[in-house]
Structure 1
Amino acid sequence: MTKTTAPHPATLELLERLISFPTVSADSNLDLIDFVERHLTEAGFRTHRLPDPSGRKAGLMARLGSDGPGGVMLSAHSDVVPVEGQNWIRPPFRLTRDSDRLYGRGTTDMKGYLASMLSLAIRAAKTPPERPLMLAISYDEEVGCVGIRQMLPGYEALGWQPELCIVGEPTAMRPAIGHKGKIALQATCRGTAGHSSLAPRYVNALHLAAEFITALRRLQDHYAHSAARDPGYDVPYSTVHAGRMQGGTALNIVPDHARIEFELRHLPGDTQEDFLTRLRQETDRILRPFRAQGAAAEIAIERTNAYPGFQIAPDHEAARRVAVLSGAHETIKVAYGTEAGYFAQLGIPTLVCGPGDMEGQGHKPDEYVTMAQLASCDRMMDRLLMQLDASRSARYAG
């Protein structure tokens, strides 16, 4: 591997250290944050720790350079998905190299990008750029972007106004200009319990749940045939998905409860409010005959989580800039959610671009990132450092 296609040695060293922290979302990330904060403080960054409500986790904001507006923010999350139940051949929390591949939980999603960020911090500290460099490191992204939502008040209190944010989720180093928003919900169906030999006298909660699932399928058909479409996505319309249903106690007892967990992943034109209105109409239709008979039947819907989608025009200055930085001029849209929507809602031009392939490696056993992808990310960071410094930019050829 030639020098121009190899990651910086510091990036590899940092990735090895980051992988050794088993920061599964259910567990604390404080050991990793302690390590990262020391690393950035020694490099001359000013850091701001943002603890979660429990005190078991924390996010970190860091800045090198002036306090004025402008500059660039790089964003990564520190948590990873679990390894239990997966058939790993290699140790998940020890970096293992095999030819061009670097194995370990989080190498692709997304400690490879985080290592490249921290490696950049070392180079930036040697000759601080004229415009500020900001780093955002969150927690609990893998459980629905919970951490960044909790961090936002602390971030906004800092008053930072970057001109660009790059969220480093794996895109194979292609600039991503959009993803769908998501709302996760739970429907609790309640009926009346009784002996199964007299089943028609009672309201079967599983029957309510089955009708509710049918209603979700009708809503999916509505979106599949609507005019709101975006060919930039593999599935070009909003999607409704039921992922889990539980209910009942025993075969000879009419179930009086059932629970369904479901979601909507939506295009910008299909709002969560419109979906909830349609859902309430479907629920009323299901319950109407029971109410007419005075039967005790109920379907209660609760929102359990949500995060915003994001989109930016492919000809936006920020998109053109990230294309130059990454060396990839074809923009994409990604199927998965990210924290980009939260930064975009703050008025920060935001794109997603990072090493690795979510579909190929993300959340899988023996997760890996290639040396070439990590090197490409380091080259993007090198170009960014040149852009942030006017004297370097004068020599920068793109």
Structure 2
Amino acid sequence: MTKIPEMRAILQRLLGFDTTSSNPNMDLMLYVQDLLAQHGIAAVLIPDATGGKANLYASVGPEGQGGVMLSGHTDVVPVLGQNWTVPPFAMTERDGRIYGRGATDMKGFVACAIAALLRAADQPLQVPLHLALSYDEEVGCMGVRSLVEMLETAPLRPRMCIVGEPTAMQVATGHKGKIALRATCIGREGHSALAPLALNALHLAADFVTAVRGLQARVAATGLSDGDYDVPYTTLHIGKLNGGVQVNIVPNTAVIDFEIRSLAGEDTDALIADLRAAAEAITAPLRAAFPEAEIRIERLWDYPGLGTPSDAGVVNFVKALTGANGTIKVAFGTEGGLFDARLGIPTVICGPGSMAQGHKPDEYVSLEQLERCEAMLSALVARCAAGF
């Protein structure tokens, strides 16, 4: 056994790994696996098909009981094009803050969770504590799905889960689900001098964008509403539009990437059906002259929302750990929806820092927030030792 490192030392190592989602995360996971092994904790790695990325799952305490799972992702968003004043992939500490890409989203929590697991391993726990680390959360909660599949076949699953995304240590019970979609608009190319004789795919795209905005207006005015969210209704958002080669060519293809972020209970299939109907209404009148005219909508990927009841056992349990009186809901998605929907594990979100600092240059988490997270996890370990 070696001396248990402080959370800050672990965080320094984690921030030093460039785990942008486009990069492998295996070096970070091997570091965590080795650190856990030094303290007698076996960790299972679940690699992807390339072998460059992996999930990690580890447990301490007695077998045959559910316990509590601490969940975090190890990938971060890119720093390209951002004006950083500190090295993004190193830890800089000043003025009560720790800077670095992923400091708040969400390596700060991951470092706290690893440190808590190491300390728990030295105690006679009555209830187990689990650690789940994933990859590719930032690109649609994609990597964690193999870990979910592993737990689906496990003889016993965790009794509850804390996802440590940044909530300023408030207990969050919900977030919207997300569906990523693509609309491919097919027209007919031609010389721009004869543009009216061709079918401009960008014009089709513009008409479809108008239809999406119209549906958004209708949903906002008459759809479901949840005042716990900053935006209380389901949102439809156009994120990307590509088309055309150069200005003197009428483009024959344009591609729109868009999303739906839905409230619990929203009939997203009906919304997509409305968009398909709008696409057909745009193209059908054109097919006599342009039989190839089409707007094809594909569903790329999705993750479910989270809607844990405010009186659920996991909510009251984590509120007791933090001393919180109320709960919130968050605007961003997490892996918690998959743990709840696929595994039936009651889940809340609670972690240090604020997403207002995430995804920005000079991302940071305050030491005060990290200390509060350590206090919550220390209380959790004590409850696991006492059998809850």
Pick from 145, 148, 152 the counterpart of residue 149 of structure 1: 145
Alignment-derived partner of residue 4 in structure 1 = none
| Counterparts of residues 1-398 of structure 1 (less than 5 Å) | 10-293=6-289, 295-345=291-341, 346-359=343-356, 361-390=357-386
Of residues 280-289 and 293-302 in structure 1, the stretch that sits farther from structure 2 once superposed is 293-302
Query: Does the 8 A contact of 1:71 with 1:131 survive in 2?
Result: yes
Structure 2: distance between partners of 1:129 and 1:69 = 11
Alignment-derived partner of residue 396 in structure 1 = none
Structure 2: distance between partners of 1:62 and 1:135 = 5
Alignment-derived partner of residue 5 in structure 1 = none
Q: Describe the SS at the equivalent of 1:135.
A: strand
Q: Describe the SS at the equivalent of 1:333.
A: strand
Aligned-residue RMSD, C-alpha: 1.4
Structure 1: distance between partners of 2:327 and 2:281 = 43
* Displacement of 1:267: 0.6
Q: Describe the SS at the equivalent of 2:110.
A: helix
* Displacement of 1:293: 4.2
TM-score between both structures, scaled by the size of structure 1: 0.94
Of residues 113-122 and 41-50 in structure 1, the stretch that sits farther from structure 2 once superposed is 41-50
Of residues 154-163 and 27-36 in structure 1, the stretch that sits farther from structure 2 once superposed is 154-163
1:77-129 per-residue CA deviation (whole Å, 9 max, x = no partner) reads 11111111111111111111102111111110101101101111221111131
Of residues 90-99 and 267-276 in structure 1, the stretch that sits farther from structure 2 once superposed is 267-276
* Displacement of 1:41: 2.0
Structure 2: distance between partners of 1:227 and 1:196 = 42
Of residues 18-27 and 295-304 in structure 1, the stretch that sits farther from structure 2 once superposed is 295-304
Query: Does the 8 A contact of 2:15 with 2:91 survive in 1?
Result: yes
Task: Give 2:79's aligned amino acid.
Answer: V
Task: Give 2:204's aligned amino acid.
Answer: L
Of residues 192-201 and 30-39 in structure 1, the stretch that sits farther from structure 2 once superposed is 192-201
Task: Give 2:159's aligned amino acid.
Answer: E
Q: Describe the SS at the equivalent of 1:277.
A: helix
Q: Describe the SS at the equivalent of 1:354.
A: coil
Structure 2: distance between partners of 1:46 and 1:160 = 18
Return 5+ residue gaps in structure 1 as ranges.
Answer: 1-7, 394-398
Query: Does the 8 A contact of 1:290 with 1:296 survive in 2?
Result: no
Q: Describe the SS at the equivalent of 2:144.
A: helix
Query: Does the 8 A contact of 2:88 with 2:362 survive in 1?
Result: yes
Query: Does the 8 A contact of 1:73 with 1:162 survive in 2?
Result: yes
Query: Does the 8 A contact of 2:148 with 2:339 survive in 1?
Result: no
1:298-340 per-residue CA deviation (whole Å, 9 max, x = no partner) reads 1111222211111111111211111111222221100001000
Structure 1: distance between partners of 2:126 and 2:138 = 35
Query: Does the 8 A contact of 1:44 with 1:64 survive in 2?
Result: no
* Displacement of 1:44: 2.5
* Displacement of 1:294: 5.1
Structure 1: distance between partners of 2:261 and 2:155 = 31
Task: Give 2:222's aligned amino acid.
Answer: S
* Displacement of 1:43: 2.3
* Displacement of 1:255: 1.1
Structure 2: distance between partners of 1:273 and 1:159 = 34
Q: Describe the SS at the equivalent of 2:281.
A: helix
Task: Give 1:286's aligned amino acid.
Answer: I
Query: Does the 8 A contact of 2:176 with 2:305 survive in 1?
Result: yes
What is the aligned residue count? Answer: 384
1:110-167 per-residue CA deviation (whole Å, 9 max, x = no partner) reads 0110110111122111113111111100001111111112332223233332111000
Structure 1: distance between partners of 2:189 and 2:47 = 45
Structure 1: distance between partners of 2:283 and 2:118 = 62
TM-score between both structures, scaled by the size of structure 2: 0.96
Query: Does the 8 A contact of 1:89 with 1:366 survive in 2?
Result: yes
Q: Describe the SS at the equivalent of 1:250.
A: coil
Task: Give 1:152's aligned amino acid.
Answer: V
